[in-house]
Amino acid sequence: MSRIDTTFGKLKQQQRKALIPFVTAGDPSQQLTVPLMHGLVAAGADVLELGVPFSDPMADGPVIQRASERALKQGMSLRGVLGMVAEFRKQDAATPVVLMGYGNPIEAMGWEVFAQRCAEVGVDGVLTVDFPPEESHAAFEHLQRHNIAPIFLLAPTTNEARIEHVAKLARGYVYYVSLKGVTGSGAIDLSAIEQKLPQLRKHIKLPIGVGFGIRDAATAKAVSKLCDGVVVGSRIVQEIENSNENNVVANVGKLVKELRQAIDQ
């Protein structure tokens, strides 16, 4: 079993939900990304989503856009991100790591080289926002050949046929975008999520994580009642932006502990 499957399996046995925080690799600095990853795990994270900085992150709002800009200014690259995962694995062999980003950097490296390198350093899943499953079979075949889970986004506007298509290709978990908009935008409609989830579960047997718009512990708790995992990105990246290098790990850890406690209540 993969690390992702093992993690969700244990959580299901414990009747608990996954907390899946997102940070951008290289923000606030390349030196602090791995300590932040360990800090997230220590604070109660179950799966880590590590953002690969990109110059045109079309699905992201201003907070994560700025994080990408800060990381790129410091010379962050896809090879650098993979190196960070390798460093993280020296101390943590159990926590799943999912790379989240866009297709261009992977295309530049080549999908076969990328998938092989992911396997070597201990990446468990890859979510490429701008690679729809309908057009990416060759790319995802490379991932699956190396036992890397292709993870897909579904949205409030996703129709039944597309849900069924994603269900056949997806591995690990499926990421449901809770609102129409970019990361960090708007307030989520819990009733709309509650209405959509049965349609998703009709076809999807994998765990379903919900993200976008989850900005506090109360919302995280409410969302966790409806799905298998709660993804929090912009709020954590905002905490990084508002901290300095001396207190960023502690501040982010405090926030994630609050989210963990709320979800577990």
Catalytic residue among 49, 124, 228, 239: 49
Helix (H, G, I), strand (E, B) or coil at 4: helix
60 is catalytic: yes
DSSP secondary structure letters along 180-223 = SSSTT-S---HHHHHHHHHHHHTT--S-EEEESS--SHHHHHHH
What is the Cα–Cα distance from 171 to 38, expressed in whole angstroms? 25
Catalytic residue among 60, 124, 228, 239: 60
Contact partners, residue 167, CB within 8 Å, separation at least 6: 174, 203, 204, 205, 206
Helices (H), the chain: 3-13, 30-42, 62-73, 78-89, 103-109, 111-121, 137-145, 160-169, 190-201, 217-224, 234-242, 248-264
Q: Is 56 a catalytic residue?
A: no
N-to-C CA span, the chain: 29
CA–CA separation, 188 vs 194, rounded Å? 11
Tokens of residue 107, six digits: 């295309």
Cα–Cα distance for residue pair 206/168, rounded to 1 Å: 10
CA angle in degrees (0–180, nearest 5) for 60-251-265: 85
Residues annotated catalytic, as ranges: 49, 60
